[in-house]
Each structure stands twice: as C-alpha cells, then as structure tokens.
Amino acid sequence: MKKSVPKNQSRELYKFFPFLMIIVFRFSILNAQQLVDKSVFSKIDSLTKSIENKVIEWRRDFHQHPELSNRETRTSSIVAAHLKRLGLKVETGIAHTGVVAVLEGNHPGPVVALRADMDALPVTEEVNLPFASKERTTYEGKEVGVMHACGHDVHTSILMGVAETLSKMKDKLRGKVKFIFQPAEEGAPEGEEGGAELMSKEGVFENLKPDLIFGLHTMYAEVGKILYAPGPTMASADNFSITVHGRGSHGAAPWLGIDPIVAAAQIVLGLQTIVSRQADLTEGAAVITVGTINGGTRHNIIPDYAEMTGTIRALNETTRNLLHERIKNVSEQIAKSFGATANVEIQNGYPVTVNNKELAGNSVKLLKSILGEKNIIEITPKMMAEDFSYFANKIQGFYFFIGIASPGTPADKIEANHSPRFYVDERAILFGMRSLAYLTVNALSDKTK
C-alpha cells in the first residue's frame, strides 16, 4: 500500500526543491565539461610520460633533417612506419607526401580528427644545438638553409606520441581517431599545389568524415600555457601584385613622361587608407602591407613601369572581400590621376581560421578543469595565417597554441616563429601530447555525436 506523506512534511520538502534543482544543474554542467572518468586522464598522463624521451628523440631527428613543403619524403616515411607498427590503417602519398591513419576504438562513437604539419622553412639556423639543422637546398633559384623555425617538428612528434598513447587505450575509446600528417602548411612551391587545400581536394574526409578536428601550434609563450581565441583565430592571407604603367623619360625632364614611381608611391599611401578609413575594424582587424616595390634601372631615368607586391590579411570574409575590391579601385584611380594605368592581380590564399565557438568553449572548460584556469589564456586573434582553415571550414574545429618558452625567459628574449633563432623548450612536448589526448578522449566520449 502506498504510504502518503503528511502535508507539513511535503511543504518542508518543497522548500528545498530550488536548492535540489541547483545541485542537479551544477552536476549536469560539470558532466558536460568532463565526459570522461578522471582515471582515463591519469592513464594518459602515465602513458605520455613513459614515451616522452622517445618523442623528444623523434623531434630532434626531424629538427636535424628538415624538409621543405611538398618535399617531406623522409619525414612522412618515418611517420608512416610508426603508425603501421601501431597497427593502424595507414594511407600515404596524399597531397604528395601526406599521411593519414585511422585508429578504431573498441566501442561505437564519433570520429575525431587530429592534424599536424610536417614542413620546414628556407631559414638558416643560428641556434647552437647538438641537433641543429645543417641542411641546405635550392629554393626559388637560391641556395638556402632549411630549418624547423615554426615548430612543425614538434607538432609532428606530438601527434606521433598521441597516436601511440591512444592506441594503447583502445579498450576505453569510443569511435575512431583520424590522424592527419599534412605537408606544405607553409605554402607549396611556385607552380605546385599542396597543403590542407590539396588534401581536401583529394578527399581526405570522404571515406571517413570526422565530426570535429583539433590542431595545435607552438607559440612564443611560457611552457605550460595554452592560448586560444574563440571564433576567428588567425587571418586570411592573400597576395597582391600591382604594376603601374607610365611613360619613360629623362629624369631631368619628368614633364616629358609619366612617372610610374611617383604614382606607385601614392598608391602605397592610398592603400593604407583602405584599412584606416574604409574597413569596419570593429568587426575584426585587417592589414594591407606592401612588401616589395621595384622600378627603374638608373638614377636619372624615369622608367616605363614600376611593380609592387604585398599581403592582405583579414579576420572575416566581408572585410576580406572589401579589401580586394578597394585595392583594385584605389590603385587604378590613383594611377589614372597621374595619367598612368595600374594592373592589379590578387591571388587568394588561406581563408580565415575560425574556431567553432561551442567546441572551443567545451574544450577550454575541460582543459581548465585539468590543467588549471590560470594556464588557459584567451588571446586576441592573430594576423598570421594557417591552412588548418580549410579543414575547419568543412567540420567543427578547435585550434590552439602551446607555449614553448622556458619559464622566466624575458619577453624580449623569446624569438618569434620563423626566426633563425627560434627555440623550443622540449618540456612543451609532453604538455602538448597530454592536451591533445585529453581533448580527443573527451570528444570521443560525447555520445551525442
């Protein structure tokens, strides 16, 4: 027989109802932030620590033997061999030298992709390390040094370590992990295609489309720090060239010709007003930079033409399109005012890298709960560019940065990416492996995917 509750007791219980609801709500929020039992994170810590030295050795080997974009044959062969030893399904030769592997968990679930880039830069290393690069090659017709001056050796090694770690946890994994080792992030050589754009064209997501993708990058911040931006994170990057056609004459009699150098100088100044006076900077930053300007052969000859090239950066597509339109218009009209003409060519490059806000928010909550709130830092978007954007335009993506500077290093002593003195404190490698593995197992445990 059902026992009734006295009226006065039910009133007392009713008083506590709002407090019970608060407890339930807080529990549900906590559960949404962290979907995995803490013991799994402890397992990740143990496994990554056990292979830390091996992963550092991989990094040093890659650093000592860097390869330029679309030429990462040695690097990709080492990566592929490692993934095959782990028993993963491996594909090679994607976008020239790309490697893709799939790890299948023991339980059904979502598909999570992880990406690392493998290429180096035409930079001569100046860091005094026992494994410093001595490599040299020909780049755009010039003999150059080759160096991992942007940390791609670190990214590749970290992802190899994450693959080994997760392969030893198959019994705890739901779904699948797709490891993408990408060539040519720094841009394909002249006349070639490459990078994430070519991997996308060749169907990297067609056979097994991920639900989401994570990527990381080294950054000039202290080891142990993670930096991120919700929404737009890195800018689009387009190139432009402008040729100003005038009419040559003697430098002593400029009125007998049309001076393209003076017109070009005015165009350089005019381009800056596009950003400062025509772009809505409250919607996101923008940059137009003229990087080269050339014209003439002798001090007293006004040439027929002058040429300039530069870069265009924006943090949203509306501003990006506006800059393209206005660069053409401003250049042509200024040239016309001098009696000259301007031919403008714009070459589209990487799109804006945009973090999915919901995924970024959930990822940040998880990382804060494990690594500490003070170590997860929101930053403003950066005007550098990343072809991770091609992947993040197709599926939800979260791209974040890990610090690589030794604690206590003065800010003015930290060398930026692409510097010949770029240096990585290798303690960042263990931190990067753990961060990426935490996010992956947590995402795999999301049964809503």
Give the residue numbers annotated as catalytic, written as ranges.
350, 426
DSSP secondary structure, 332-346, as one string:
HHHHHHTT-EEEEEE
Q: Which phi and psi (to 5°) does residue 160 adopt?
A: -60, -40
Q: Give Cα 412 to chain centroid, integer Å.
A: 24
Q: Which of 367, 358, 369, 365 has its CA nearest to residue 401?
A: 367
Residue type, position 179, single letter: F
Closest of 90, 79, 85, 47 to residue 153, by C-alpha: 79
The tokens describing 61, both together, are 């080997």
Q: What is the largest CA-CA distance in the chain?
A: 114
Residue closest to 438 by CA, chosen among 28, 83, 34: 34
Q: How many CB atoms lie within 10 A of CB 6?
A: 8
Closest CA to 320 of 274, 362, 373, 363: 274
Cα separation, 383 vs 378, in Å, equals 16
Q: Which two tokens stand for residue 180?
A: 């993408």
Nearest 5°: the CA angle 15, 20, 22 is 115
